Amino acid sequence: MKEVFLPGNLEELWRALEREPAPRPYCGGTDLLVHLRSGKTDPDALVCLERIPELSGVREEEGGLWIGAATTHARLLDDPLVRARLPLLARALSTLGSPPVRNMGTIGGNICTASPAGDTLPPLYALDGEVELRSRDSSRRMPLRRFITGPGETALRPDEILAGVRVTPDGTYNVHHFEKIGIRRAMACSIASLAALLRVSSSGEIEAARLAWGSVGPTVVVSGEAEQALLGKRLTRDVLEDAAERARKAVSPIDDVRASAAYRREVSGNLLLRLMEHRPL
């Protein structure tokens, strides 16, 4: 039996976190419970962040959106603000797990698990998401790209929790593209994924590009080289092939039971070719 704390507000949370040894925070538990069962992780006690109202919900703030860490994927998918302003994230969320997993799992959990296969991460990287970290005495912000330091590793301090993520969408992007390759068509862990934001002018010129790949490196992979290769060009096969070749150089995938590194490298580039479908008519 394990002790599980269920704080109903931040004060109760801070008190729980001050215990020795500190209980391990979790939110959703769709990853943690699997590891508890297998014995891969075995903390003495847990503290659940799901019942703290301050950590949930979506609101407009500073021209962007603030998303509480404890907000479930299902709730985000239903949220009109997310659907209207963050279609890239919404698309990724719709491929995440299954309805039961989306009902339990949270965006904060997905971020703190820091798996390269986390489905919300490539869109949040492409959108330049910023995390908000809080402890009893402090509050700080940090770009998501800096927060995640390695597979399963973050810059979270022991006394801190992830309170939320802030995204300021640039409304001028007019292509929002997300694709995930899994072994089956739903309820599948990502083999490779691509999140892409493009601003394509009415004449077909790419004016801005943000690209992020999941599952093809220790953390989400971004490639300024591949982005650069698109700027000022059109969404033609040759242009995308060129960017694809750069992407294949930028990624550093591994072999695992789902796919080989070679396959992941190949499709990391191939996925860019799908952007041809977004050419202005």
Partner 1 sequence: MKPSVPEIGRSLRRADGPSKVTGREKYAADHYGEGLLWAGVRRAGVPHGRILSVDTAEAAALPGVVAVLTGGDVPGTNRQGIVHKDQPVLCREKVRHFGDAVALVIAGDRETLAKAISLVRVRMEPLPGVFGVDDALAPGAPLVHEEWSGGNVLLRATIRNGEAEKALEACPVIVEETFEVPPQAHAFLETENGVAWQEEDGTVVLVVSTQAPFRDKWEVSHALGLPWDGIRVVGPVLGGGFGGKDGATVQCLLALAALHAGGRRVKMWWDREENFLAGYKRHGARLHYRLGAREDGTLHALHCRLFYDTGAYAHLGGEVMALGMEHAGGPYRIPHTLIEGWCVYTNHPVAGAMRGFGVAQVSFAAERMMDLLAGKLGMDPLELRKRNALRQGDRNCAGVTLTASTGILECLERIGGHPLWTGRETWKGQAGPFKKRGVGLAAVWNAMGYGRGLPDSALAKIELTPEGRLRLYSGVSDMGQGNATAFVQIAGHILSQEDETIELIQPDTARTLPSGSSAAGRTTYTYGNALIPACEELRRRIVGRAALMLLVDTLDDLELLPGRVRHPASGREVPLSVLAATMTEHERICISQFLMPVVREVPGTGKEFRIGFPHLFFAHAAHLARIEVDELTGTIEVKDWLAATEAGRVLNPQGFEQQVQGAVAQGIGYGTLEEVKLREGRILTPDFAAYILPGSLDVPEIISLVEEVEEPTGPYGMKGVGEVGANGPLPAIANALADGCGISMTRAPLTAERVLEALRRKGTPGAGETS
Give the one residue of 10, 189, 208, 254 binding partner 1; rule: CB under 8 A. 189
In single-letter form, the type of residue at position 150 comes to G
Residue 41 in contact with partner 1, rule: CB under 8 A: no
Q: How many residues bind partner 1 (CB under 8 A)?
A: 26
Q: Applying CB under 8 A, does 281 fall inside the site for partner 1? A: no
Which stretch, 151-159, 183-191, 196-204, 210-218, contacts partner 1 (CB under 8 A)?
183-191
Min dist CB 247 to partner 1, Å, is 13
Helix boundaries (H) for 203-260: 224-230, 237-250
Q: Does 230 bind partner 1 (CB under 8 A)?
A: no
CB of 11 to partner 1, least distance (A): 35
C-alpha span between 48 and 244 (Å, rounded): 42
**Polymer length of the chain:** 281
Helices assigned H by DSSP within 68-212: 73-78, 80-85, 87-94, 99-104, 107-113, 121-126, 144-147
Question: Which listed residue (185, 202, 203, 281) binds partner 1 by CB under 8 A?
Answer: 185
CA distances from 18 to 13, 24, 159, 260 (A): 9, 11, 8, 44
Return the number of the residue (12 or 241) whose C-beta is nearest partner 1. Answer: 241
Let me know: does 247 contact 199? Beta carbons within 8 Å.
no
Nearer to partner 1, 137 or 277 (CB): 277
Closest to 136 in 3D by CA, of 34, 16, 11? 11
Q: Is the peptide bond before 116 cis (omega within 30 degrees of 0)?
A: no
Q: By CB under 8 A, which span of 4-12, 115-123, 156-164, 254-262 interacts with partner 1?
A: 254-262
Instruction: Identify whether the C-beta of residue 168 lies closer than 8 Å to the C-beta of residue 197.
Output: no
How many C-beta neighbours within 10 Å does residue 181 have? 20
Q: Which of 141, 186, 201, 204 binds partner 1 (CB under 8 A)?
A: 186
101 lies in the binding site for partner 1 (CB under 8 A): no
Count Cβ atoms below 10 Å from residue 63 Cβ, excluding itself.
7
> In this structure, are residues 145 and 167 in contact, taking their beta carbons and an 8 Å threshold?
no
The answer to the question of residue 236 lying near partner 1 (CB under 8 A) is yes
Of 2, 21, 22, which Cα lies nearest the Cα of 161? 22
Residue placing its CB nearer to partner 1 in the complex, 81 or 276? 276
Residue 267 binds to partner 1 (criterion: CB under 8 A): yes
Binding window for partner 1 (CB under 8 A); candidates: 112-120, 151-159, 169-177, 265-273: 265-273
Kindly state the smallest distance separating residue 191's Cβ from partner 1, in Å: 8
CB count within 10 Å of CB 281 equals 3
Of 3-11, 160-168, 222-230, 268-276: span binding partner 1 (CB under 8 A)? 268-276
Smallest distance, partner 1 to C-beta of residue 140, A: 35
Which listed residue (22, 36, 77, 187) binds partner 1 by CB under 8 A? 187
Q: Which two tokens stand for residue 72?
A: 């479930």
Binding residues for partner 1, per CB under 8 A? 34, 181, 183-189, 191, 236-238, 257-260, 263, 266-267, 270-271, 273-274, 276-277
